[in-house]
Amino acid sequence: MNKAILFDFRVDKPNKKILVERSFNAPVALVWAAWTEADLLDLWWAPKPWRAETKSMNFVEGGRWHYAMVSPEGEKHWCVCDYEQISPEQHYQAIDAFADANANINMTMPRTRWNNHFTPDGERTVVNVQITFDKLEDLEALVQMGFKEGFTMGMENLDQYINAQFYLRKQKKPTTNKVRVSTYLNFAGNTEEAFALYKSVFGTDYVRGIQLFSDIPADPSQPPVSEKLQNMVLHVELPITGGHVLMGTDAPEEMGFKVKAGNNMQLNIEPESRAEAQRLFDALSAGGQVSMPLQDMFWGAYFGSFTDKYGINWMINYQQ
């Protein structure tokens, strides 16, 4: 069961700093990605109903994130974030500033230095944020503008993304410990339509029916699933032929997914042992891109995911 969310927000006026400590119920790799990859930052960084929109991002030391905070009416407030120091999955330091659409910094507005530290804590990650100002009046002005409230809303957006990611993965565990291979499909909102076709073609039936996003158990420490997502498919499982199983989900952008050619299908392997899971993961991921390192998950699985060097997506899921 997830631990209660830790959130501590302090204003240190003598040192002209804002200090934030926030926990997330996910491992460092996932939380780090959410803070450092443009497509994920765009999904949670801005407080609703605003949204973040990245124009360009180069997450390296000396690189820059150029983005806008966009209002429901389309008004854009541009910013740049210049990365100074990066220790992967541990820490990064950057300077944030107001700018224009061409990334020209507005020197009449204050700049802030962000030091973000990521610390594993069992099943979760604690992020410590230190925001330093040049002038006390700049700090006070930002607080008066509602920075705490806006930053809190952004954190809740990220909670919802993480909650959906992990709840989906928990549903992928096998009903028995038999070795099997399945194919996992992501859809942009029409999973039920697609699986109705597959069901009619193969003449089989769903395992445990169709689960919806509204079936996610309520968690008082996290925001509820939005009304727009209530009737989307969370998980469906359908045997087809030769003992093979298709699994699928709606992958809405509101919860951290972007369906496109190349990420809409994954091979899901459920091996016979932890050792075999490790062997498969190491051999298949060599030269590829790891999205989730192989590790023990809170739902009892030894799980990892990656794209191999040929662009094929895999999940390794040993259920203990």
Residue-level pLDDT at 117: 97
Residue-level pLDDT at 30: 81
Peptide bond into 217 cis (omega under 30): no
> What is the distance between the alpha carbons of residues 147 and 145, in angstroms, rounded to a whole number?
6
Count of alpha carbons within 13 Å of 225, Cβ hemisphere only? 22
Q: Residue 149: is its pLDDT beyond 70? A: yes
CB of 78 closer than 8 Å to CB of 66: yes
Q: How confident is the model at residue 174 (pLDDT cuts 50, 70, 90)?
A: very low
Poorest-confidence range of 10-14, 133-137, 218-222, 240-244? 218-222
Number of C-beta neighbours around residue 105 at 10 A: 16
> What is the distance between the alpha carbons of residues 86 and 93, in angstroms, rounded to a whole number?
7
Top pLDDT among 32 and 297 is at 32
pLDDT digits (tens, 9 = 90+) for 103-125: 999 988 889 999 999 999 887 89
> What is the distance between the alpha carbons of residues 283 and 225, in angstroms, rounded to a whole number?
38
Q: How confident is the model at residue 160 (pLDDT cuts 50, 70, 90)?
A: confident
Q: Sketch out the chain's domains with CATH numbers.
A: 7-167 (3.30.530.20), 172-319 (3.10.180.10)
Percent of the chain with pLDDT over 70: 88
The set of residues, in sequence order, having a beta carbon less than 8 Å from that of 179 and lying 6+ positions away, is: 270, 271, 272
Residue-level pLDDT at 33: 85
Q: How confident is the model at residue 223 (pLDDT cuts 50, 70, 90)?
A: low
CB of 27 closer than 8 Å to CB of 123: yes
Top pLDDT among 254 and 190 is at 190
Alpha carbon 144 to chain centroid, angstroms: 30
pLDDT digits (tens, 9 = 90+) for 25-49: 888 888 898 899 887 888 889 887 8
What is the strand order of the sheet 313-319 is part of?
A: 211-212, 233-239, 245-250, 180-187, 265-270, 313-319, 301-307, 289-296
CB of 189 closer than 8 Å to CB of 233: no
